[in-house]
Amino acid sequence: MVDENTQSQAETTTMMFKQHPKAKIIGSHTSGANGDVIRFKIAGLETSFSGLGAYYPDQRETQRIGIIPDIIVRPTLKGIKAGKDEVLERALEYLKTGR
Protein backbone atom coordinates (compact mmCIF):
# COMPACT_ATOMS: atom_id res chain seq x y z
CA MET A 1 0.00 0.00 0.00
CA VAL A 2 1.41 3.36 -1.06
CA ASP A 3 0.34 6.99 -1.42
CA GLU A 4 1.81 10.45 -1.94
CA ASN A 5 3.63 10.18 1.40
CA THR A 6 5.66 7.23 0.14
CA GLN A 7 9.06 8.57 -0.89
CA SER A 8 12.77 7.93 -1.17
CA GLN A 9 13.86 4.45 -0.03
CA ALA A 10 10.22 3.37 0.31
CA GLU A 11 9.75 4.08 -3.41
CA THR A 12 12.84 2.06 -4.26
CA THR A 13 11.55 -0.81 -2.12
CA THR A 14 8.16 -0.58 -3.83
CA MET A 15 9.89 -0.85 -7.21
CA MET A 16 11.64 -3.99 -5.99
CA PHE A 17 8.32 -5.50 -4.90
CA LYS A 18 6.86 -4.75 -8.34
CA GLN A 19 9.42 -7.10 -9.86
CA HIS A 20 7.73 -10.11 -8.28
CA PRO A 21 5.05 -11.45 -10.64
CA LYS A 22 2.49 -11.94 -7.85
CA ALA A 23 3.05 -8.62 -6.05
CA LYS A 24 0.37 -5.93 -6.33
CA ILE A 25 0.94 -2.33 -5.32
CA ILE A 26 -2.30 -0.74 -4.09
CA GLY A 27 -3.03 2.93 -3.41
CA SER A 28 -2.10 6.13 -5.22
CA HIS A 29 1.02 7.45 -6.93
CA THR A 30 4.03 7.89 -4.67
CA SER A 31 5.80 11.23 -4.28
CA GLY A 32 8.36 10.73 -7.07
CA ALA A 33 11.23 11.74 -4.80
CA ASN A 34 13.65 8.84 -4.89
CA GLY A 35 17.36 9.10 -5.62
CA ASP A 36 20.04 10.58 -3.41
CA VAL A 37 19.74 14.18 -2.23
CA ILE A 38 22.63 16.61 -2.54
CA ARG A 39 22.48 19.76 -0.38
CA PHE A 40 24.80 22.72 -0.57
CA LYS A 41 25.05 26.43 0.15
CA ILE A 42 26.07 29.01 -2.40
CA ALA A 43 26.20 32.72 -1.61
CA GLY A 44 24.28 32.08 1.62
CA LEU A 45 21.45 30.28 -0.17
CA GLU A 46 20.84 26.65 0.75
CA THR A 47 19.59 24.44 -2.04
CA SER A 48 19.22 20.75 -2.78
CA PHE A 49 18.63 18.46 -5.72
CA SER A 50 18.53 14.78 -6.53
CA GLY A 51 21.89 13.62 -7.80
CA LEU A 52 20.83 10.29 -9.31
CA GLY A 53 18.11 9.36 -11.74
CA ALA A 54 15.64 6.70 -10.65
CA TYR A 55 14.05 4.54 -13.32
CA TYR A 56 11.83 1.52 -13.74
CA PRO A 57 13.62 -1.51 -15.18
CA ASP A 58 12.15 -0.56 -18.60
CA GLN A 59 13.85 2.86 -18.24
CA ARG A 60 10.70 4.91 -17.54
CA GLU A 61 11.37 7.75 -15.10
CA THR A 62 10.05 7.71 -11.57
CA GLN A 63 11.25 11.08 -10.30
CA ARG A 64 8.51 13.73 -10.32
CA ILE A 65 6.08 10.99 -11.46
CA GLY A 66 6.17 8.47 -8.64
CA ILE A 67 5.57 4.75 -8.60
CA ILE A 68 2.28 3.91 -10.30
CA PRO A 69 0.24 1.36 -8.34
CA ASP A 70 -1.18 -1.73 -9.99
CA ILE A 71 -4.53 -1.01 -8.33
CA ILE A 72 -5.26 2.70 -7.89
CA VAL A 73 -7.36 3.55 -4.83
CA ARG A 74 -7.66 6.95 -3.19
CA PRO A 75 -9.48 7.80 0.02
CA THR A 76 -12.75 9.66 -0.57
CA LEU A 77 -14.27 12.38 1.56
CA LYS A 78 -17.30 10.12 2.14
CA GLY A 79 -15.04 7.28 3.32
CA ILE A 80 -13.03 9.55 5.60
CA LYS A 81 -16.23 10.94 7.17
CA ALA A 82 -17.43 7.36 7.72
CA GLY A 83 -14.13 6.42 9.38
CA LYS A 84 -13.21 3.98 6.61
CA ASP A 85 -9.75 3.14 5.33
CA GLU A 86 -10.69 2.53 1.70
CA VAL A 87 -7.15 1.68 0.63
CA LEU A 88 -6.81 -0.97 3.33
CA GLU A 89 -10.29 -2.31 2.53
CA ARG A 90 -9.32 -2.65 -1.15
CA ALA A 91 -6.08 -4.42 -0.22
CA LEU A 92 -7.98 -6.87 1.98
CA GLU A 93 -10.48 -7.47 -0.84
CA TYR A 94 -7.58 -8.23 -3.17
CA LEU A 95 -6.15 -10.71 -0.68
CA LYS A 96 -9.51 -12.48 -0.38
CA THR A 97 -10.48 -12.56 -4.08
CA GLY A 98 -7.21 -12.18 -5.98
CA ARG A 99 -8.73 -9.30 -7.97
Task: Give tens-digit pLDDT for 27-40.
Answer: 999 999 887 788 89
Sign of CA dihedral 23, 24, 28, 32: positive
Domain boundary assignment for the chain = 9-72
Beta carbons of 34 and 54 less than 8 angstroms apart: yes
- pLDDT tens-digit readout, 73-88: 999 999 999 999 999 9
What's this model's pTM, rounded to 2 decimal places?
A: 0.82
